[in-house]
């Protein structure tokens, strides 16, 4: 398959474990954040988003936490499945009102059966 | 609803040539953005179009250009190709391009410049 990144940090977990993927963002003025999942050969797939006026948001099996004090985002995946194996990117919106996303470098999640 | 469609899926070009990539957004989406993805630089914003107008542009040379048509379909063009332009070019669409409309990406066009 196509290589998304050659030297990505990797998180290896067992099926059924909970996974936590962390991201440090750069712009304290960013007010909108998104997590994407990218599988080999595909484009990034939207997972969940959060505005800066929130600390936490939950979706189906996923939770995003935002700590503006230290400019930190995390994505928690409950009961991780082999299908969750992918590269995960956080993105911040630098331009108020427009979608000009700045992406993190990504984390590769490997889920073993 | 069909997703974002990008054509072609793969392209091989020679240095100095030019290339045009095409993107059809999700039906009803009026904002189209383009991103370049490389192993070294990651995902980088190229430009964003809304109602046929470029609203935002990333830090890329003028060889990279784009346009949007009245049906929201978009094309990007790269002239005088360089080896460093080899990348996955991703198109994304959203309803309006604001906070309540996250980007939805296509599967990209893989451009190889030789």
Cβ contact B39–A98 (<8 Å) = no
B4 shares contact with chain A (CB less than 8 Å): yes
Min Cα–Cα distance to chain A from B39, Å: 4
Mean pLDDT of all residues in A56-72 = 96
Lowest mean pLDDT among A1-5, A92-96, B47-51, B69-73: A1-5
**Can you give the pLDDT at residue B40?**
87
Give the C-alpha separation, A34 to A23, whole Å: 11
For residue B2, the model assigns a pLDDT of 83
Q: Which chain A residues are closer than 8 Å to B104 by Cβ?
A: 46
Arithmetic mean of pLDDT over chain A: 90
- Is A111 in contact with A80 (CB distance < 8 Å)? yes
A5 has a pLDDT exceeding 50 = no
On chain A, the residues whose CB falls within 8 A of the CB of B86 are none
CA distance A69 to B69: 42
Which of B3, B42, B50, B74 best probes binding to A when mutated, by most A CB atoms within 10 angstroms? Answer: B42
Average pLDDT of span A14-22: 97
Of the two residues A97 and B22, the one the predictor is more confident about is B22
Beta strands in chain A (DSSP E): 10-14, 19-24, 32-38, 45-51, 56-58, 62-67, 72-77, 86-93, 101-103, 107-112
Q: How confident is the model at residue A93 (pLDDT cuts 50, 70, 90)?
A: confident
What does the alpha-carbon distance between residue B44 and residue B66 come to, in Å, rounded to a whole number? 15
Q: Is the pLDDT reported for residue A10 higher than 60?
A: yes
Give Cα B65 distance to the centre of its chain: 9
pLDDT higher at B112 or A6: B112
Chain A residues whose beta carbon lies within 8 Å of the beta carbon of residue B92: 43-44, 99
Say what the pLDDT of residue A6 is. Answer: 52
pLDDT reported for residue A2: 36
Span A99-109, mean pLDDT? Answer: 89
* Cβ–Cβ below 8 Å for B42 and A46: no
Q: B12 has which bridge partners?
A: B112
Q: What is the pLDDT of residue B56?
A: 87
Q: How far is A6 from chain B (nearest CA, A)?
A: 6
Residue of B nearest to A89 (CA): B43
Q: In this predicted structure, what is the pLDDT of residue B58?
A: 92
Give mean pLDDT, residues B104-114.
97
Confidence bin at A68 (pLDDT 50/70/90): very high
Which pLDDT belongs to residue B97?
A: 63
pLDDT band at A3 (very low <50, low <70, confident <90, very high): very low
Query: Which residues does chain A have within 8 Å of residue B58's beta carbon, measured at their own beta carbons?
Result: 100
Reported as a pLDDT band with limits 50, 70 and 90, residue B95 is: confident
Nearest by Cα to A71 from A33, A108, A21? A33
- Going A21 to A22 to A27 to A33, the CA torsion angle's sign is positive
> According to the model, what pLDDT value does residue A42 have?
95
């Amino acid at each position: 398959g196509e290589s998304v990144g050659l030297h990505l940090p990797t998180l290896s977990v067992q099926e059924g474990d909970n996974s936590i993927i962390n991201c440090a963002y750069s712009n304290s003025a960013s007010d909108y954040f998104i997590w994407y999942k990218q599988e080999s050969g595909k484009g990034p797939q939207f997972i969940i988003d959060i505005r800066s006026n929130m600390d936490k948001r939950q979706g189906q099996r996923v939770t995003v936490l935002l700590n503006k004090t230290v400019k930190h985002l995390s994505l928690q995946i409950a009961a991780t499945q082999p299908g969750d194996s992918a590269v995960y990117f956080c993105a911040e919106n630098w331009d108020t009102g427009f979608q000009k996303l700045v992406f993190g470098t990504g984390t590769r999640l490997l889920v073993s059966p | 609803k069909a997703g974002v469609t990008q054509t072609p899926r793969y392209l091989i070009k020679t240095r100095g040539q030019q290339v045009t990539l095409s993107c059809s957004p999700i039906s009803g989406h009026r904002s189209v953005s383009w991103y370049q993805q490389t192993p070294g630089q990651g995902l980088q914003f190229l430009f964003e179009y809304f109602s046929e107008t470029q609203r935002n542009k990333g830090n890329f040379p003028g060889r990279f250009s784009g346009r949007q048509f009245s049906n929201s379909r978009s094309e990007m063009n790269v002239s005088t190709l360089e080896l460093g332009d080899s990348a996955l070019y991703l198109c994304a669409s959203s309803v309006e391009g604001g906070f309540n409309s996250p980007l939805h990406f296509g599967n990209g066009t893989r451009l190889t410049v030789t």
